[in-house]
Amino acid sequence: MPKLKTKSSVKKRFRLTASGKIRRPQAKKQHGMMKRTNKQIRNLRGSTIMAESDAQFVRKMMPYG
């Protein structure tokens, strides 16, 4: 069997945690910061765990974890 390729876009955007969940960067941080409150911007720092229903699609694109 040939090796499966990992989708390059997934490789750049997502990582697996030790327990196998998918960590992703926070959304809504690329532009439009002027209209958001400081509290909203502060709460969007760092990364978050992806919902399991969405994570199923990402897992198919990263076959080797």
Neighbours of 22 (CB within 10 A): 21
Domain ranges of the chain: 8-61
Q: Are 26 and 46 in contact (CB under 8 A)?
A: yes
Encode pLDDT of 16-49 as tens digits. Answer: 999 999 999 999 999 999 999 999 999 999 999 9
More confident residue, 15 or 65: 15
Encode pLDDT of 2-12 as tens digits. Answer: 999 999 999 99
C-alpha span between 38 and 44 (Å, rounded): 10
- Provide the pLDDT confidence category of residue 65 given band limits of 50, 70 and 90: confident
C-alpha span between 48 and 50 (Å, rounded): 6
Question: Taking the domain 8-61, which CATH number applies?
Answer: 4.10.410.60
Query: How close are the terminal C-alpha atoms of the chain, in Å?
Result: 18
Residues 6+ positions from 65 with CB-CB distance below 8 Å: 16
